A and B are shown apart, each in its own frame.
Chain A
C-alpha cells in the first residue's frame, strides 16, 4: 500500500485528503483515489490523462519520470506527493 498526499492549496476548491491505496504504478494508485473523488482528477491531470503542466508529482522525494502515462512503478510503503509547481503572481 502507498500513501498519497495532496497539496493543501487544493483545499480552496475541493477536499483532497491523504489516502492509502494499492497500485503497481502511480497511475493505478491515483486512479483508485479518483474513483472515489472524480472531481479531483481534473485538478491533477489534463484532458488526456497526463500530469498538468504546473502540477508536480513526487515519489519518495523524486520527481515522477513518466508525466504522460504515470507508469512509474511503486513499491510497498512508497510515498506519493502531489503539489503545485509554483507559477503566477
Chain B
C-alpha cells in the first residue's frame, strides 16, 4: 500500500504520511497558495501546479529529498493573427491534471483553457498538443460551470499502448488519439446532457465530462462522472451506457476505478445544480462491484450530520492495491479507507478546500 498522499488545497500542498498509529501531516508546502494539481512519481519526484490569483499558473518540481524548484510552466505559442475569432485565450489559465504515460520521462498536463501539453523530460519543458488545440470544434468548447474557460479534466493513457489516449473535457466530451496525440477525434456516443436544448442533448461535443477513470488492468473499461449522471464504456470510450443504479444521487464530480477489477468503482454523489451539497447533509461514497448494476452506499466513519461538503473531480483517489482510498472535500475534510471503502477514518477535518488528492507513485 502507498504510505504517502499528496493533497492540493486552496492554501497549499499537504503531504499525509503513514506513521505508527495512523496517518498524519508530514509536510506543508506553498502555504497560502492554491495548488491545482499534483503528481508524485515512483522515483520520489513530485510536481505541483500553483494557480496564483495574480501571477498566473506556475509549475514546481521537487526531486526525492530535495527542495521545490520552479520550472518553466507550459505556455501557449504566439496567437496567429487569423485566430481573432477564437473565443478562448491562448494563455495558460490553470493546470488541472498531470498524468504520466509512455516513454520514460513523458508527462501530460490537462489545462484550462483546454490545452493539452506534453513533456518528454519529466516536466523540464512542455509543448502544446497542436493537433487537438487546432481542431475546428474547439471553438465550440464551453467553459466549466462557474468559470469562463473549458478545461481538460482527465487524460487516460493506455498502460499497454501509450499511443492510445483519451481526453475528457469539461465541457467538450471525450476525445481520442491512437497515434500518441498526432491526430484526434471526438468519440463519445450514448451520453446526454440534460441542460442543453433538446436537439443538442446527445451531441458528443456538448457532454460535460466531470471526470474519467479507466481500470488500469482493463483499460477498455472507462467510468465517467458526467454532469448529469454516471456512464460506463466497455470499448475505450466510443460508446457509453448510463449507470442508473447510482445512489443516493447521480450528480457528482469524482470517480475512481479499481486498479484490476473493471467491475468496481467509487463515486461521491451530491445534489446537483440547484444546491450542490451532500445529499441529506451526509457524506457517503457509492461503490459498485458489478459494473454499475448495483451500488452500496458507504458511510461508516464519514460525517452523517450537517455535512455540506462537495468532493471535486480530482479529490478522490485509490492506490494500486484497490484497498486504500482517500478523498478530500471543499470544506477541508480528508478521509482515508484501508478496506476498499467499507470504513473511513477522518484524518483532518479543517484543511483548506481540497482540489486534488494523489497517492505517491500513482
**What residues make up the interface of A, taking CB atoms closer than 8 Å to B?**
9-10, 12-14, 39, 42-44, 46-48, 50, 52, 54-55, 84-85, 87-88
On chain A, the residues within 8 Å of B52 by CB distance are 13, 43
Are A54 and B75 in contact, with the CB atoms below 8 A?
no
Number of A-B contacts (CB under 8 A): 52
Could you say which residues of chain B place their CB within 8 Å of the CB of A50? 91
Q: Mark B73-95, 1 if CB is under 8 A from A, else 0.
A: 10110110000000001111000
Chain A interface, DSSP helix/strand/loop, else mixed: loop
Name the contact of A47 in the complex, choosing from B32, B54, B58, B90 (C-beta under 8 A). Answer: B90
Kindly identify which residue among A47, A55, A84 contacts B92, using a CB–CB cutoff of 8 Å. Answer: A47
Chain B CB count within 10 A is highest, among A10, A42, A43, A47, for: A47
Q: Do A52 and B55 touch (CB < 8 A)?
A: yes
B92 contacts across to A, CB distance below 8 A:
46-47
Chain A residues in 8 Å Cβ range of B32: 12
Of the four ranges (under 10, 10 to 19, 20 to 34, 35 or more), the interface on chain B belongs to: 10 to 19
* Residue positions of B touching A, CB distance < 8 A: 32-33, 52-56, 58, 70, 72-73, 75-76, 78-79, 89-92
The residue from B53, B56, B75, B78 contacting A88, defined by CB atoms under 8 A apart: B53
Which one of B33, B53, B70 lies within 8 Å of A54 (CB-CB)?
A: B53
Residue pair A14, B70 in contact (C-beta under 8 Å): yes
B73 touches A42 (CB 8 A): yes
Q: A46 to chain B: which residues have CB within 8 Å? A: 56, 89, 91-92
Bound Cα distance A48, B78 (Å): 6
Known: A10-B55, A39-B72, A47-B90. 12 other contacts (CB 8 A): A13-B52, A13-B70, A14-B70, A42-B72, A42-B73, A43-B56, A46-B91, A50-B91, A52-B54, A87-B53, A87-B54, A88-B54
**Cβ-defined contact, B70 with A39, below 8 A:** yes
- Which 8 pairs across A and B sit closest by C-beta, in order of nearness? A47-B91, A84-B54, A46-B91, A88-B53, A43-B55, A54-B54, A47-B76, A47-B75
Q: Tell whether, in the assembled complex, residue B55 and residue A55 are in contact, meaning their CB atoms are under 8 Å apart.
A: yes
Distance in angstroms from B85 CB to nearest chain A CB is 16
* Residues in B whose Cβ lies below 8 Å from that of A55: 54-55
Q: How far is the CA of A39 from the CA of B33 in the complex (A)?
A: 18
Give the docked Cα–Cα distance between A5 and B52 (Å).
20
> Which B residues are CB-close (under 8 A) to A9?
54
Are A48 and B90 in touch, CB under 8 angstroms? Answer: yes
* Smallest CB gap from A46: residue in B: B91
Q: How far is the CB of B53 from chain A (nearest CB, A)?
A: 4
Chain B: minimal CB distance from A29 (Å): 19
- CB-CB under 8 A from B76, the residues of chain A are 47-48
Is A13 within 8 A of B90, CB to CB? no
Q: In the complex, how many angstroms separate the beta carbon of A48 from the nearest chain B beta carbon?
A: 6
Most chain A Cβ neighbours within 10 Å, of B33, B55, B72, B91? B55
Min distance, Cβ B14 to any Cβ of chain A, angstroms: 18
Nearest-CB residue, chain B, relative to A88: B53
Question: Does A52 contact B56, Cβ atoms closer than 8 Å?
Answer: yes
CA distance A44 to B54 in the complex (A): 9
Contact between B91 and A48 (Cβ–Cβ < 8 Å)?
Answer: yes
**How far apart sit A66 and B222, CA to CA, in the bound complex (Å)?**
48
Q: What's the least CB distance linking B355 to chain A, in Å? A: 15
Instruction: Give the chain B neighbours of A84 by CB distance below 8 A.
Output: 54-55
A-B contact pairs, 28 of them (CB 8 A): A9-B54, A10-B55, A12-B32, A12-B33, A13-B52, A13-B55, A13-B58, A13-B70, A14-B70, A39-B72, A42-B55, A42-B72, A42-B73, A43-B52, A43-B55, A44-B55, A46-B89, A47-B90, A50-B91, A52-B56, A54-B53, A54-B55, A55-B55, A84-B54, A84-B55, A85-B54, A87-B53, A87-B54
